[in-house]
């Protein structure tokens, strides 16, 4: 267990113990005691802090993983941009036809657009999987452009780019329900 996770769990346990202690104190007081109202207010405030902490706990536990995924995703897109530039230079240096630029320049532009991908706490696992697909796709582009495999694989490259691009876009899931709901009127 990571140190940050351990601290969060210890803090959570301490808040639960504090709430239990306050509950025990309030049970020892009668409703007519002078300190009852103060103890009750403290109990409610402690419960509210615990509820807020528990609401934020999943995001706080996922934060280190999200930050790692953010670095991986950003550097993957940047690395693939460097590969695209090197591939354009290699194709031109090897004397391949300039028609390869029709594939390689959009590939370069696509990797440049990937620099703006934002890794969120909700999608960090998905974004990490997308960059794995990006690496496979870029390997395919390299193999096709250098003539290692048949040029017919360009179709797979195009399909791969559509898939990576579509998966990288953050689409609101409420849109289809809204469209369906509006069609009933």
Per-residue pLDDT tens digits for 147-171: 888 888 989 988 988 888 888 776 5
The reported pLDDT for the residue numbered 83 is 92
On the question of pLDDT at 174 being above 50, the answer is no
DSSP one-letter code for 33: S
Token pair 């706990």 in the structure block, residue: 57
Where do the structural domains in the chain lie, given as residue ranges? 3-176
d(CA 116, CA 111): 10
Between CA 108 and CA 80 the distance in angstroms is 8
pLDDT of 22: 86
Helices (H), the chain: 3-28, 36-93, 101-113, 124-145, 154-168, 174-183
Q: What is the pLDDT of residues 93-124, one digit of tens each?
A: 888 777 888 888 988 988 888 888 887 777 88
**Per-residue pLDDT tens digits for 39-67:** 888 889 989 998 998 888 887 887 888 88
Paired tokens of 182: 């509006």
Mean pLDDT of 79-93: 91
């Amino acid at each position: 267990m990571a140190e940050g996770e351990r601290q969060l769990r210890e803090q959570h346990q301490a808040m639960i113990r504090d709430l239990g202690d306050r509950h025990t104190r309030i049970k020892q007081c009668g409703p007519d005691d002078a300190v009852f109202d103060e103890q009750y207010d403290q109990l409610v405030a402690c419960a509210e802090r615990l509820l807020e902490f528990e609401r934020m706990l999943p995001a706080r536990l996922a934060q280190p993983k999200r930050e790692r995924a953010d670095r991986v995703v950003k550097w993957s897109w940047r690395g693939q941009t460097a590969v695209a530039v090197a591939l354009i230079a290699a194709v031109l240096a090897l004397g391949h036809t300039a028609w390869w630029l029709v594939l390689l320049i959009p590939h370069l532009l696509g990797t440049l657009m990937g620099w703006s991908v934002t890794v969120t706490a909700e999608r960090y696992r998905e974004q990490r999987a997308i960059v794995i697909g990006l690496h496979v796709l870029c390997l395919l582009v390299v193999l096709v452009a250098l003539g290692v495999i048949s040029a017919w694989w360009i179709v797979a490259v195009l399909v791969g780019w559509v898939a990576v691009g579509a998966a990288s876009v953050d689409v609101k899931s409420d849109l289809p329900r809204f469209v369906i709901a509006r069609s009933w009127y």
